[in-house]
Every structure is written in structure tokens, then in C-alpha cells.
Amino acid sequence: MKQSMSKMGLAKTEIFTDQQNRISLYAKVFGHPARVAILQHLFKINTCVCGDLVNVIKLAQPTISQHLKELKLLGLIKGNVEGTRVCYCIHQENWTSMKEIMFQFLNQDRTNKEGCF
Amino acid sequence: MKQSMSKMGLAKTEIFTDQQNRISLYAKVFGHPARVAILQHLFKINTCVCGDLVNVIKLAQPTISQHLKELKLLGLIKGNVEGTRVCYCIHQENWTSMKEIMFQFLNQDRTNKEGCF
DNA sequence: AATATTAATCGTAATATTGCAATGAAGCAA
DNA sequence: TTGCTTCATTGCAATATTACGATTAATATT
């Protein structure tokens, strides 16, 4: 039987739990070194930076802007317009709730420590 | 000036630190709900499972096999051939070292709690 | 040997991601 | 106003990812 031929190349999120999908969504946004670097820089330079990220990270301005958009979409950062500049910073509350979800996943442990070999 | 026109669509890993690239590689593998589900099942059913994953997760056998391959490539799981079956389980040591790297990233905190707004 | 079972691999289709040049929008400065 | 700065958006090119049917390889079973 043929596949539905409409959603190829797309993750079948409907067959997974909300928790599994949430974990993978957070993980996915961390799945690019530029976004990791952006977040690390925002943690380091607490006071919100923006155009600076383009200087710190050697990627073109539209590329940085796009990564920032994805981080904002997931709620991990906030952006504040200040004149012609936009000042970004970590969204502390959302970062904390994200951590809880990820920790629960990463801290899983096997009840029986016997491996398969 | 034009881009090099050879590596379009590829992450520019060379401009990031090893740590940033490592974090993103681990995150990327968690960036699909099927792999999250596989890992959760391996933690739950300690004794290695394999073809069972195809029944538990509603994806075709080649798809599961492909996801297992990626998890194995990163060293997060081990596969043991037992006759016609292959028995998978969590690679405890590597899982632990992965956790350390991810925890360091997720546990970052701002020195100054003042947000940008 | 012949068949069945299990899982990996190959090939392919469709969508997603990455990156940037060009452009647009909004505020500031002269 | 005219320009300048800063950032977002658009459009596009190239690669990556996801999923599965078909096939292959290896071992069991009969």
C-alpha cells in the first residue's frame, strides 16, 4: 500500500505523546550551534544584546535574525524594541520550565542495571 | 560578494566551539519524537528490545532502524546481535557523559537577574 | 536444501533547514 | 526632508531530514 503522499519528510507527531513532542521541540531548537551560542551569550552578557550577536557570531545578520526568531517562538528569549535596536534576553520563567521537562527526560534511569551485554 | 556556493543548507560548524557543536549534536538527536520514544522505551524495558520498537512505535521498520542507527552513531545506545534479532539498550556510560554536557548548558544562570524589560 | 524471520540498506519522494543577498520598515540624526 | 542605522522579511539555492517500499543479508526453522 502506498503512503498518503502528502506529508513525506515530515515527522509524524500525531503518533507521539505531548511530552515526547515537547521534548523534541526544545531539543530541536538546541540542535544548531548558532542557537546554542546565542543562548550562551545571552546568559553571559545579561544586559540584552542584539546587533552584537552578529559581531560575536560570524553569521550574516538575516541568519542571526532567523535563529532569534525560532528561539523567541519557543518562548526561550524575549525581545524588546528600543529605538532602532532590539534588545534580547533570556525568558527566565520559560527557561526554567523547559529545564524541568528536559531534566525529567535526561534523568531517566534504568531500574535494572543489567545491560543487554 | 557571493557565498561559496558549495555548502549551502549546511550548518557552519567551523565557526563554533567544540562544546557548542557537541551540545547541538546531542540536542539534534533528541529533536525527533521517535528517538525520544525509543530512548524512553529502552529505559522502561531495561532488557533490550528491538523489533518490539516497531510494534510500540507506529513507524515502519526501516524508519525505526534508521533512528536506531543515529542513536547508535552518537553512542547513546548499544546493539547486540542475537540470532536474527538485534537487542538494543542504553549505553549507560555515554548517557552519563552526555548528561553532564547538557546539564552544564541547561543549568546556565544569569549573574545579574535584571532582565532587559 | 527450502522457507521463514529479523533487521539493515538502498532508493526515492516530500518536506525542513540553513544561509545569505536584496529589500523593506521604523526610528534617529543632520 | 534626506540620509543613516538597525533589524525583520522575502526569495532563493543547496543540503538535510523523514518516511517507507523494495530488497538484501544473516540466521533459524522445517
**Residue B1 confidence (pLDDT):** 39
Is A9 domain-assigned? no
pLDDT, averaged per 10 consecutive residues of chain A (117 residues), comes to: 65 96 98 98 85 96 98 97 95 97 95 71
CB-count exposure of residue A61 (10 Å: 0-12, 13-18, 19+): exposed
Is B79 domain-assigned? yes
If one counts the domains in chain A, the total is 1
Asked if B53 has any chain A CB less than 8 Å from its own CB, the reply is: no
**What is the residue range of A71's domain?**
18-103
State whether B20 and A28 contact (CB < 8 Å): no
Could you tell me the distance in Å between the CA of residue B65 and the C1' of nucleotide C8? 7
Q: Judge whether residue B6 has pLDDT over 80.
A: no
CB-count exposure of residue B98 (10 Å: 0-12, 13-18, 19+): buried
Is A62 domain-assigned? yes
Is A86 domain-assigned? yes
What pairs with residue A78 in β-bridges?
Answer: A89
Is A1 domain-assigned? no
Could you tell me the distance in Å between the CA of residue A115 and the C1' of nucleotide D18? 30
Q: What is the mean pLDDT of residues B42-56?
A: 89
State whether A92 and B106 contact (CB < 8 Å): no
State whether B21 and A33 contact (CB < 8 Å): yes
Question: In chain B, what residues touch A80 (CB-CB under 8 Å)?
Answer: 116-117
Asked if A5 has any chain B CB less than 8 Å from its own CB, the reply is: no
Is A115 domain-assigned? no
- Residue B90 near residue B77, CB atoms below 8 Å: yes
pTM, rounded to two decimals: 0.94
B29 CB-to-strand C distance under 7 Å: no
**Residue B73 confidence (pLDDT):** 97
Q: How far, in Å, CA of B67 to CA of A33, rounded?
A: 21
State whether B34 and A11 contact (CB < 8 Å): yes
What CATH number does residue A65 fall under?
Answer: 1.10.10.10
Is B83 domain-assigned? yes
Cβ < 7 Å from strand D, A residues 30-49: none
Q: How far, in Å, CA of B45 to CA of B57, rounded?
A: 14
Asked if A113 has any chain B CB less than 8 Å from its own CB, the reply is: yes
Q: How far, in Å, CA of B96 to CA of B80, rounded?
A: 20
**Residue A1 confidence (pLDDT):** 39
Is B71 domain-assigned? yes
